[in-house]
Structure 1
Amino acid sequence: MGIHSDDNAQGSLDFLTAISIFLLTMAYLVLQIPAIFAPFESQSADLQPVAYRTCMILAEDTGWWRNESTNQSGADWENASLNDVCRIGLAANKHNPNDFSKLMNRGKICILSENKIKELNRTYNSNRIIDHSNKSYTMHSWIRYLLGLDIIRTYSYNISLQYLNGTTAHPIYVPNNTHPALCIGNQVPETAEIEKMERLVAIEGDCGVGYLNIGDTNTSNITMGLPHLDSFTVKFENFSEKNRTADARLNVTLNNTDYNNVSVINESGLFAGGWHTFNRTVIDDYLCDSNNITVNVSWCNVSYMWVNRSDWGDRIGGMSMPSAKLVVCIW
């Protein structure tokens, strides 16, 4: 009898059964282990990007409004009807370099507008009910909706503008007269897991924009409160007629019940460009007995100007704008 060779291999049935059970068991464990530990996992992985995105939108975006019936839109949402607001942002508007009366759909990154800050805070505290996208919102929920904080889940939020030396335990809010300039949202809880995001920002003051003829004078009136106020800074940019910058002029006067049209800055010519500051000494000399003062700013041949208030932040280096921190808490 001859011996026959065979190249075919056969696996043991016991081995195949064992390896199948092993693979099924491993697959089950891989699927079940994350669910077992899910209740003990932190939510910070979810909160951190939401807090970062919210802080970035407020600090870098101007916001946007659009009226469907008139087909008009713009970045100055603070001047539009609340029903037309599409996005909320606090970044100061950039202006068309060829026409300073027109706004561009880009913000000055980390330079916030005093007007937008005031409007956001005023809107939140107005306690209105608004119909938006066929749904009724309180001001709290409307702002949450525009910031995208109720898409996947509903987040609680607290947004404020604070001095640089403020802390979580002892926040120091930038004041608007006797109230915080910006402090909106839920009260931050002491026990919940919270994601806090801060952005260092500068504050651009109330501004008036327009093309002014050489012979014209434009006046802007801004009321500010004492005793927090230490100084004013008036800044100019872009002369309407660059070949006649020597005709620019700047006149700043202070008024209250005891003094009328006290002149603190009266300059003309080339040196009227740039920024000019008068300090607390001037205010004390004339207005130390007053709780409120009115600043009258007149200018000529200037396309863009603003008045910065020292009490809206800290002075850093030679910056003409006060600095503060935008604080966003999400939970």
Structure 2
Amino acid sequence: MDAIRHITDEDGILSIDFLAGFTVFILALIMVISLVPGFLAGIQSENIDYDAVAYRTSVILVEDPGAPQNPSWNLMGAYDMEHKDDIQRLGLTVSKDTPNILSREKVDKFFNRTPDFTFTAEDYREKVIFGDFTYLYNISLRLETESESYYAVGGDEVPTFQYGYMRRLVKVKEPSVAEINSTRLGPYTGVIDKNITSTSADFAVQIPYDVLINRSVNPAYRIDPQSEQLMINLTGLWSHLNGTDIESMNFTRMGLYKQLDDGSTILIPGLYPWANDTYSLKVNGTAVPATGGSPESVSNSSVITMVLYPPLPFSNEITSVLNVNFNFSYVYANNITDHNYLTGAYQYDYTTNVTQPELVDAVMEVAIW
């Protein structure tokens, strides 16, 4: 009986080893539980992180002009890849003072619409998205024009969950254009004696940098020869000059001249042949040489298009003037009346001579995952 009672008394006692082990287990469990929320918080915040990256990317694109700014990044390696590594940030705005107004030149460069120049996926990650993680992305821009242009880079398939998204309403600054036609050529008509059977003469389009680079003009509407292209369209020349009197009219050559302080001009050398990173020249949509080659016949339907790419020659010299000289030759059919030809200097400025830069509504969308 005593033996039975002794065993029963010992049965409810826990050993010291068991208590120590149980205590260590509880402490370890508490530590593990305290660490779990930290792990879960990192997992649960992924969506917020993607949204933050998408927002930051959209801010860089539509509120920042990018870097470097002088010269602007879109002018670096305009037609080659040589200086692409010097570009630090791919902001698209015209300037830091024009948030949500995008430069057409930068838009074309960013969306790989410039010949022989391409940004890679790594370029976009390093120069606009940033971050240590290898993000996937889709960046698009839809212009609300008559033709509704759409540009996009990145992946086509955006996931249905765990991605960041931003939509921004912006405007794209389109370049200026000098539409020189029969209604604008009145003051630029020369007259020669009816007995002269042929002649040739220059018709100049004058680009005064001091007028264009005017800081009082809002950058959103400023014609900037340092960072934006300028376009010249010549149409309706024959009909303006009374085609019944002209047997033939030919476009013979084009030259770029720097105007000196005394009004004289000098030819700028080294800017030929017809297509390079300075300009392009087309007659009826076909590229032609600026000098040499066969003269191009001009008729009522002829269109001569000249595009000057930024930065224009000597545009860093604010007081300089650039002349674009178009030379035409004429053969006259009769000697009944005095003959007409094109002459003088047409001003590329902020008057009705030039179609001013237009702001086109657009939508920028950024998806990051």
TM-score (norm 2): 0.43
Higher RCO (CA-CA < 8 Å; seq separation 6+) = 2
Q: Give the greater-gyration-radius structure (CA).
A: 2
Bigger strand fraction: 1
Normalising to structure 1: TM-score of the pair?
0.47
